Structure 1
Amino acid sequence: MHGFLAGHRDAVVAELAEWLRVPSVAGVPEHLVDLQRSANWLAAALRRTGFPSVEVWDTDSGPAVYGEWCAEPDAPTVLVYSHHDVRAAKDEEWDETAPFEPTLRDGYLYGRGASDAKGQVLAHLWGVRAHLAATGRRNPAVNLKLLVEGEEETGSANLQQLLQDNRDRLGADLIVFSDTLMWRADHPAVCVSMRGTMLAQLEVMGPLQDVHSGAVSGPAPNPILELSRLLGQLHDDKGRITVPGFYDDVVEPSQRFRDELAALPYTDADWLERSRTRSIGGEAGYTVLERLWTRPAIEVTSVIGGDPIGPSRAAVPSLATADLSIRYVCDQTGAGIAEQLRQWVADTISDRFEHRLTVSPEAAQDPYRTPDDLPAVAALAEAMQEGFGHPAGRMGNAGGGPVVLLSQSVGAPAVFFGTGLPEDHWHDSNERVSLDVLLAGAATLAAFWERLPRR
């Protein structure tokens, strides 16, 4: 298995680089044809791997690819989920390579989508190839179904409809969700939870139109100042969110899980170097890993007001806007948080201003935790030890994804496995993937398909 993958290292690089050259950028109309090209590329790669049934499912904003290899009636059936669309990239901010001109350097392949998530998808293809080569089997030891969508980066708008339209074909005993990070290359860990995610936008209205500050400065209501005041009150001096009722449904992490997180190798210096976050904050009373994976958070991701581009007009603006990213945990609900946030804004904002809060809990992606007694978790931990050469710990995932939608639609529990690392620069310039981690991930999957039926 390891020998097979080592012998095909150059082929893995060449195949991934070829796919990365397709700029399958989500949410940009001129790249819709590139999303189609990316889907067709993946469909062809699945057929080369041996999948006897492969289809491209069209949607309005990005096609999904479905592959099926079900040749073992008595074996478990696994649905693998990931995505092939990528985030937009600003060429001028990349200095290792242009975003869609992949370059191999010092053991890393650079390019948009290298880690999020084309590299993760390719690990599955090479995992199947290594599994067949190591076992001499003609078919995988499990029945495999792959669903790789093309709209994840813009919220998976059509995924629910795809799942409904193909419900009879997507039945499975287990879901493997592959759009996640690992903790460290030298210390694998099984991810057993994912926070939920919901977006909100707060608009604060001041004057009825932009007004020259020399004429009204002082008595005029400045929406930037009021928005800043609101955002400054969103957290207290202990890092806790001040929205009343926000923590009512938050369940404390179990002592077992806290102990498992404490067992992961961690130092502040290592975290700051790999995450590029400059300093550490957040909710007092919890470790950094507990804050990341077991506690909710609200971040401000964008603030716009006045003249952000070009010379200032020296006017008091009529509007200031902030985008919020809300990460929430199991037992919290998107609807509950939305109502709490609406009430907090209404109670906190000055009556000199109007406001509009846009939040859509129906579009939220709910949190998920893998059942503690799921046998597949133990099988995956064993496979990760074989693939990476180190015992596997336990971790969570700080991001979000449609795992609850998948689990409810398919009627199966989910486990998480990805080959990304915090230092891979997802959604940022110079995105990259470690070739060693990618190959170890493929070896893990090869071992997992062999071990899973025994569990």
Structure 2
Amino acid sequence: MNHDDAVRNYLDHTTPQYLDKLAEWIRIPSVAGVPERQRHLTRSANWLAGELRDAGFPSTEIWEGVQGPAVFAEWKAAPGAPTILIYSHHDVRAVKDENWDQTAPFEPVLRDGRLYGRGSSDAKGQVLAHIWGLAAHLAATGRTTPAVNLKWLVEGEEEAGSPGLSAILDEHRAELGADAVIFSDTLLWKAEHPALCTTVRGMVPVHLEVLGPLTDIHSGAVSGPAPNPALEISRMLTELHDEKGRIAFPAFYDSVEEISPTRREELAALPFDPADWLERSHTRSIRPEAGYSVLEQLWERPALEVIALVAGDPVGVKRATVPSMASVDISVRTVAGQSVNEVAALIRRWFEVHKSPDFDYRLSVDTETAQEPYRTPPNPVLDALSRSMAKGFEVPSVGRMGNAGGGPAELLSSRLDVPVVFFGTGLVEDNWHDSDESVRVDMLRAGAATLAFLWAELGS
């Protein structure tokens, strides 16, 4: 049996075993940013450390972060071969149990080729694909150690904005030295047309509170002359975009790099059907930006989204009051050419100009957990991964895509002085951060095969 067939044979025979492992991990509710779940983040880290030891890693450690522990592992047994650092996370997003229909969030079920449960795709499934792929690599080659030197950093607070990652990178710089980082917290384009992610957008979080009356006041007593912060925050939100739908901060687009002809050709080569996109993304319509395709808009252009908006009595019995405060959380997605500090300054300047003397305001632009955009430079690991993906997913070649979200890729690259290469097994229809999150089993298997092929190629 040749090497490629041996990899696939191993994966076929061990699929139930690794799905059981993933289900066991999903049952640990390692939710980020929720104090009562803190102990579960520790349990999740210890579970992963145990799995890595069982996989053969001779060295595993738990490193404390600000909100959750990170897992570090190292297996250096290939002198002269490349050293690859695998980055991902084991914390998951908060859930609204009442919105889940297929199963409860932390009670995984396998149904119609998908494993449902919080973290199944984002990102515990992606981490398990690495463990599975390494086992397939060892089984297919007959090796007792990997053909490359492997290090792992799986943090426990990515969903909270990675507040402790910078300190971890500084404190453990020597242990984390590598030739490249493989960043596994991204999406594929389509199951039938996988593509290799080469860019991620940056992200600047903004929180605004508008203060009106000193307390909530019965609207029948003060309606009319009372300053209503819900109306004021609505006014400000409508002015965040101009009549063409562009973000209205002055000079915001001045440093945005124009999309290169090569990148436009890469994105145009991906099959895109509006009806298919609307079905898979669960979005009602497409709001285009003039002069750009949907994929260019999604991956190469900035965006501004309201992600939380609260005023008055959003749940329960309405008290018929003018609210004393309204608040909004905004996510500003940035692209190549823009920087966190530059964008933060533009945001603060805009709010100073647009606020009214009839209200008080509290504006927070979080530059500590903000993330810079990142573009993978040409490098041998990227080329090898492209070839390995084609074999792993059994397609003639793989395309190129971006990631609409962010992540600490630029932080990893700049602190460790190495290129970051992206590889994920998720799909937009996996419902990340939403109800009924799931992962396609065949995508996990193809991802594991990709990694098994990659280690063999890099080791040669």
TM-score scaled by structure 2?
0.96
Confirm whether residue 36 of structure 1 aligns to residue 42 of structure 2: yes
User: 2:407 — aligned with what?
Assistant: 401
Unaligned runs of 5+ residues in structure 2 are 1-6
Once the two structures are TM-superposed, the CA of residue 146 in structure 1 deviates from its matched residue by 0.6
8 A Cα contact 1:193 1:395, kept in partner: yes
Q: Is the 8 A contact 1:240 1:282 kept in 2?
A: no
Shift of 1:207: 2.3
Give, in whole Å, the separation in 2 of the partners of 1:178 and 1:250.
26
Q: Which residue of the partner structure matches residue 388 of structure 1?
A: 393
TM-score (norm 1): 0.97
Q: Distance in 1 between matches of 2:353 and 2:174?
A: 48
- Asked if structure 1 preserves the Cα contact closer than 8 Å seen for 2:85 and 2:153, the reply is yes
- The corresponding residue for 2:133 is 127
Asked if residue 336 in structure 1 is aligned to residue 318 in structure 2, the reply is no
Q: Superposition pairs for residues 158-177 of structure 1, below 5 Å?
A: 158-177=164-183
What is the aligned partner in structure 2 of residue 447 from structure 1? 453
Q: Distance in 1 between matches of 2:435 and 2:283?
A: 15
Partner of 2:110, secondary structure, is: strand
Single out whichever of 28-37 and 67-76 deviates more from structure 2.
Answer: 28-37
For residues 174-214 of structure 1, the C-alpha deviation after alignment (integer angstroms, 9 at most, x for no partner) is: 00000111111111111101101111011112223322222
Q: Percent identity?
A: 60
1:386 is paired with a residue of what secondary structure? helix
Q: Which residue of 2 aligns with 1:299?
A: 305
Q: Give the ranges of 4+ consecutive aligned residues of structure 1 lying more than 6 Å apart after TM superposition.
A: none
Letter aligned with residue 50 of structure 1: G
Partners of 1:240 and 1:284 within 8 A in 2: no
Indicate the larger mover: 337-346 or 253-262. 337-346
Whether contact under 8 Å (2:163, 2:368) holds in the other structure is: no
In structure 1, give the amino acid aligned to 2:354. Answer: T
C-alpha distance after superposition, 1:21-63 (max 9, x if no partner): 1111111222112111111111111111111111122335211
Q: Does 1:67 align with 2:73?
A: yes
- Give how far 1:310 is off: 2.1
Counterpart-to-counterpart distance in 2, 1:46 and 1:174: 20
- The CA distance in 2 between the partners of 1:29 and 1:311, in whole Å, is 28
The separation in 2 between residues aligned to 1:348 and 1:28, in whole angstroms, is 34
**Corresponding residue for 2:142?**
136
Secondary structure class of the residue paired with 1:95: coil
1:375 to 374, 380, 394: 380
* Corresponding letter in the other structure for 1:56: I
**Residue aligning to 2:119:** 113
Partner of 1:200: 206
- What is the aligned length? 453
Alignment of 1:46-445 (within 5 A): 46-371=52-377, 373-390=378-395, 391-445=397-451
Following superposition, the deviation at residue 10 of structure 1 comes to 0.8
Q: Distance in 1 between matches of 2:238 and 2:324?
A: 20
Match of 2:20 in 1: 14
Q: What is the aligned partner in structure 1 of residue 3 from structure 2?
A: none
1:330-353 deviations in whole A, cap 9, x for unaligned?
Answer: 211111111111111222233322
Give per-residue Cα distances to partners, 1:223-267, cap 9 Å, x unaligned.
111111111111123221111111010011111111111111111
Paired with 1:361 and 1:333, the residues of 2 have a C-alpha distance of 10
Aligned to 1:363, what secondary structure does the other structure show? coil
The Cα of 1:311 is off from its aligned counterpart by 2.0
SS for the counterpart of 2:368 is: helix
Query: In 2, distance between residues paired with 1:22 and 1:307?
Result: 33
Letter in 1 for 2:255: D
Tell me, in whole angstroms, the C-alpha distance in 2 between the residues paired with 1:282 and 1:217: 39
Contact 1:181 1:420 in 2 (8 A): yes
Separation in 1, partners of 2:65, 2:345: 32
Q: Which amino acid aligns with 2:242?
A: D
Take 2:40 and 2:416, find their aligned partners in 1: how far apart are those partners? Answer: 29
Displacement of 1:282 in angstroms is: 4.2
Letter in 2 for 1:308: P
